[in-house]
Structure 1
Amino acid sequence: MTLFDGLIWGGAALTLAGVGALVWCILIVVRARRAGLDDAALRERMQGVLAVNLAALAASFIGLMLVLTGILLG
């Protein structure tokens, strides 16, 4: 296994972790909306999920860039 193979597999793992976190965010938001919370409680729940959502998007993006770098340089 070369360095570039490691970049590809590491990037794929990071991307999958990011996608998993995005699915988790979706499930939390769906549960919160179905709970029938008022605006203030729903907004408070969304603020916590927003940080995880942005981190998940960043992880997915970085993972995809690692995969692309491994493919282009390998």
Structure 2
Amino acid sequence: MAIRVEVPLSAINTEVGLPITIGLGDETITAGTLYLDVRNGQIEDVRKPFADALREIADAMEQSTRADGGEVPDAAAHG
């Protein structure tokens, strides 16, 4: 027995989390998660959440480099 349920797109409102992975050679790490809002069945503009996630990753990388005593040449200022 099969049941078919139809749901209007306006009823689909949620958040989707996608892992952000970075690979270098044989090493791969999950650097974070990109959360996208779904409203009325459509994914909202991904540019701002994606840019925010990349900034967070860059900040973490810069902090880890500073902890090692090094600096990131030509690093963009955040602010």
- TM-score w.r.t. the length of structure 1 is 0.40
Normalized per residue, the structure richer in strand is 2
Larger radius of gyration: 2
Greater share of residues in helix? 1
Q: Greater RCO between the two (CA within 8 Å, min separation 6)?
A: 1
